[in-house]
Structure 1
């Protein structure tokens, strides 16, 4: 289907080629073709990219940029070949195999390279990522939820695919409490850990200490009750709504943090994502992506079709009538929901029932959708499966 689509794109381009020689600006047909490629192969640039600019240089028409989709790269080759004077400088990412493990307790991932850029997501210690590109001390990475963004090189340690496979074998353990400390032998601090962070157990329990190794090779000790086997976290048999909600309630009162996906602070979708992650599942990063996960639940005025734990999605409508999802939270029953909202500043409950003390009128008026997430549903992936996919593929295309 994608090849047929591109043939149509190329035909449209060829019909417009007669104008190329007379125009000093990039031809409209070329721009339209690239736009269609982007819509076909990378409709959501958070998970795949077709970033191509067309530049005239004398008699040459230079295609410059990058894509993360092999099929898009092949289509661009055809487009450039059909362009008089076409020069292809589009890179397919990753240019070479590259992987890494997060080496800090919580790594801040940004929309663009640079500490002043927007915080868009986070990743926990021991999480595998694929390396797509490098610029001035920053790596363009892909996380296990397929999110693409930038991470400073000091927050990761580069590893081979074989080293990644070794990391996920043997005595890998996860941090159990919301936060703990890794101590050195002299009780000095080596690092901190947050719930879901991964380290290697490297010896037997000795009193109140378990020796561990961090992804970058540092060693230290944690308490035996502060870790659980990786398999226990990453290979659940099914989604337990009660457990997901128990985890969600344990985050109540924690601060709202735009881009946050750790127990230290979360935004709305980071909150729902974290609750599922700490119960063994990777779900999409943003609310506008989570609304496509799981199965549809019909909304009515009395919320009669909803069950505890369903995800509620809020937003508004664009000028063209399409929905714009901007917020998500957990339904609790009786018209109540639990969410991380910038309007509240922290994770808390609110009501969708008019007349109640904590009624959130703006949320009731902006309620758009509801979804129910269960094992095997689209967008609901066991941690072990999502992590293994990082070093067995770089793109879904």
Structure 2
């Protein structure tokens, strides 16, 4: 598509051409980054004195090439679209250094909390702005994190960090500067990663944190990382046991730790603590695993299946807004803002804790097992982040 020089056209013709450019860019966005939570094609078309200019960024190399190709075909159009990670961050990674790091939709402490990452988790650095970094987490989620929440490293440093790890096995514990519990060094929550240093000292183990702080944690509070990294198979009973251990914990929009969780953070955390990374949000988790048909009697469901709730848009498409674990006999376990904590409810009218709005909004059910889409062992998810491009 070779267009005539835009400078020779009337105002109406220029507006028509700009509309064509915008449509073409929209098509590329839908093709390469249909979900901006996991990939980005953020491009603007701005009229300038010398002609329209494409600016912005993308995380997808193929999209960058396609945009350059389009600009070359359009006479008078220039492109300054950046491919992330930016050149100065290529080969740069991070390791979360605080027990629970808050990840936000935009840079700034006042911005929406969209997810969290646990101490010891590797991240990919994509962009930087005013002390904040656009990052990618092992579940491929893209959002902003303050620079103080992680330490920078390269691939060699990341490989060394992941080589000898232990994971926190309790909902919460502490790291002290001495075995006598003198000064608090850090807290840990379930799933945080540390390195053991030498043999235990009595009941305590000396550990190293990602920023090289060291301290002592009760040895029995630690588990072998290998069991988390290579779980072998999805054990539904273990996942539900982990889920039940969270009952009563508070609801927190964006939460993905045992401190507090939102609905998909709850299901994600239960899988993570059993060795699997699944997508972050309910509207992403609904594409993981395999579909389970729903009928009035819920006859095809098994314990541990994920139930998805929501509504239908005007165009008939589904809008998934909530997720929980099916427990059998019409019951489900979930973190709901309506309850404000993790609890059980029922889909059956005869039960005292019947949730009519959940029954009315039940849309889908999915069964997540090893090898099914979106169910990735923790070790593999970590490796994907730094052993090959995480973009398409």
> Is the TM value for this pair above 0.5?
yes
Shift in alpha-carbon separation, 1:353–1:20, aligned structure 2, 3 A: farther
2:275 is aligned to 280
- CA shift digits 1:199-228 (9 cap, x unpaired): 110110110111100000100000110101
Structure 1 residue runs of 5 or longer lacking an equivalent are 1-10
C-alpha distance after superposition, 1:288-337 (max 9, x if no partner) = 00000000101010111000000000000000000000000000000000
Residues 17/275 of structure 1: CA separation in 2 closer, same or farther (3 Å cut): farther
The answer on 1:311 being equivalent to 2:306 is: yes
Q: How does 1:321-340 map to 2 (within 5 A)?
A: 321-340=316-335
What is the alpha-carbon distance in structure 1 between the residues aligned to residue 40 and residue 8 of structure 2?
26
Aligned with 2:241: secondary structure?
helix
1:16 positional shift:
8.8
Shift of residue 60, structure 1, vs aligned partner: 2.3
- Given that residues 48 and 68 in structure 1 are in contact (C-alpha distance below 8 angstroms), is that contact kept between their aligned partners in structure 2? yes
Equivalent-residue separation in structure 2 for 1:169 and 1:267 (angstroms): 31
- Name which of 12, 26, 38 aligns with 2:29: 38
Structure 2 CA distance for aligned equivalents of residues 98 and 394 of structure 1:
12
Aligned to 2:177: 184
Change (3 A) 1:74 1:308: same
Matched, 1:243 2:238: yes
For the Cα contact (< 8 Å) 2:7–2:51, is it kept in 1? no
> Would the alpha carbon gap of residues 78 and 278 (structure 1) be closer, same or farther in structure 2, given more than 3 Å must change?
same
Instruction: Output aligned runs, 1:216-295, within 5 Å.
Output: 216-295=211-290
Q: Would you say the 8 A contact 2:6–2:76 is kept in 1? A: no
Deviation at 1:62, TM superposition (A): 1.2
TM-score (norm 2): 0.96
Q: Which residue number in structure 1 is paired with residue 66 of structure 2?
A: 75
1:362 paired with 2:345, answer no
CA deviation string 1:152-207 (max 9, x = no partner): 0000000010110111113x100010000000026200000000000110110110
Q: 1:233 to 1:88 in 2, by over 3 A?
A: same
Give 1:115 deviation, angstroms: 0.5
**Pairs within 5 Å for 1:369-388:** 369-388=364-383
CA contact (8 A) 1:20 1:27 kept: no
Q: Does 1:21 align with 2:9?
A: yes
**8 A contact 2:96–2:119 mirrored in 1:** yes
> 1:4 is matched with which residue?
none
Question: Which residue of structure 2 lines up, in the alignment, with residue 159 of structure 1?
Answer: 153
Distance 2:9 2:83 in 1: 28
Residues of 2 paired with 1:29 and 1:62: CA distance?
A: 14
Query: Aligned partners of 2:67 and 2:271: how far apart in 1?
Result: 38
Instruction: Give me the whole-angstrom Cα distance separating, in 2, the residues matched to 1:119 and 1:77.
Output: 34
SS at match of 2:80: strand
Offset from partner CA, 1:336-380 (integer Å, 9 cap, x none): 000000000000000000131000000000000000000000000
Q: After alignment, is 20-29 or 115-124 more displaced?
A: 20-29
The answer on 1:135 being equivalent to 2:129 is yes
Contact (CA 8 Å) 1:337, 1:350: kept in 2 or not?
Answer: yes
Query: Counterparts of 1:100-115 in structure 2 under 5 Å?
Result: 100-115=94-109
Partner of residue 64 from structure 1, selected from 55, 74, 82: 55
Q: How many residues align?
A: 384
RMSD: 1.4
Residue 27 of structure 1: CA displacement? 0.7
Match of 2:201 among 206, 230, 248: 206
The whole-number CA distance in structure 2 between the counterparts of 1:323 and 1:237 is 33
Contact map agreement 1:130 1:394 (CA 8 A) in 2:
no
Taking structure 1 as the reference length, what is the TM-score of the superposition?
0.94
Partner SS, residue 321 of structure 1: coil
Match of 1:195 among 190, 193, 197: 190
Quote the Cα distance in structure 2 between the aligned partners of 1:55 and 1:284. Answer: 35
2: distance between equivalents of 1:396 and 1:242? Answer: 34
- What SS does structure 2 have at the residue aligned with 1:60? coil
